Amino acid sequence: MDSYTKTPNPNEQPKLFTKEFEEQEMIKENQPEIIDVEELMKDLESDEDEDGEEEDDDKENIRPNIEKENVDCSRQNCSTTAFPLSEIDVSSFRRPDLNSCTLFDPKLLVAFEQAVKEHMKMNEEIHHVEKKPRIEEKEEEEEEEEEEESDPLLAFEEKCPAGGDGSVILYTTTLKGIRKTFEDCNSVRFLLESFKVIFYERDISMHSEYKEELWRIMGGKVMPPRLFIKGRYIGGADEVLTLHEQGKLKVLFNGIPLDNCNGACEGCGGVRFVLCFVCNGSHKIIGDDGMSSECMKCNENGLIVCPLCC
C-alpha cells in the first residue's frame, strides 16, 4: 500500500490561536478598565492655571510685594535712639502706607520696643522683691527644721515648772476618786520607770502647792497626769502614750541622768513624802500657854517632801 501525504488546502485558514490563548483573551475582556490618574491630574492643574490667570486680572486687591531683605535694611537705617515714653507724641507718627517698604513708622517701632523692655524690667524688679522675702522665710524654716532634728524637744511648747529646767517632772494624783485619771497616772509613771530615768513626781492630792503650780503653768484647771521634760510641755497620758507607740518618746530623754537605784527610797518608801518632824503630822503646834497653832514647816496634811529622794 502506497504512503499517502496530505496536501494543504489553499482555501483553509491556519489555526493561529490555541485554546489557552483564547482563555486569556476572555479573562482580559472581563477585567475592568484602568483609569490613568496622572492624566486626570494634569487636566485639573491646567484648569486651575486658567482660573488663576482670570483672578490676576483683579489688580485692585493686590498688596505690595514686601521682601524680607528690604524690611531688614529699612530697620537698620531707622534711628535707634531711645525716646522717653512721656515725651512720645503719638499724633506725630505717620499712618501706615501700603506702598512703602514698611507698614509702620520706624519711630513707633523703636518706642514700642522700648516700652516692652521697660515692662519686662519692671516685672523682673517686682519678681525679685517678692522672691527675696520668700527665700528668707525658706531659709528660716530650714534652720528651724535642722534645730528640731538636732533637738526634738524644740518641737514642744516651752513651759517650765519650778526646778524643771534640765529635769523630768510628772504631775500625778494618788486619789482613786476618778478611776481613769488614777489609771492614767499609773501608766505614765510605769512608763518612766521602765526607761530608768530620774524623774520628780509631784502629787497634787498630797500637796496643794503642786496643784496651784500646775494650774498656774497651764493657765487653767487641768487634770493630771502632765509630763514636762527640760522645761518643755510634752502632754497628758494620751500624748505621752502616742509618742511611745511611735518610738519618739525615748529620744526626748537624751541628757537625762539614769536612775541606778535598785529599790524604793529608804526614807519615804517611794511615797516621796514623810511626816513633819516638828508636828509629827498633826499640822498643829501646842504652845507653852496651851494654845495650838498651825505648823509652818509642813503642808495641810502634815507632810513634808522627802529630803532624800526629792
CATH number of the structural domain spanning residue 171: 3.40.30.10
Range of the domain at 233: 157-253
In this predicted structure, the answer to whether residue 299 has a pLDDT above a threshold of 80 is yes
pLDDT at 300: 87
230 within some domain: yes
Domain count, the chain: 2
pLDDT digits 0-9 by tens, 98-124: 566 556 667 777 888 888 888 888 888
Final residue belonging to a domain, choices 235, 253, 271:
253
Q: How far is CA 110 from CA 80, 103, 105, in A?
A: 7, 14, 9
pTM above 0.85, yes or no: no
Do 220 and 245 have their domain in common? Answer: yes
pLDDT score recorded for residue 48: 54
Q: Is the dihedral of CA 86, 90, 92, 98 positive or negative?
A: positive
pLDDT mean across residues, the chain: 76
Are residue 285 and residue 222 in the same domain, yes or no?
no
Residue 74 confidence class, pLDDT cut points 50, 70, 90: very low
Domain membership flag for residue 5? no
In a domain, residue 243? The reply is: yes
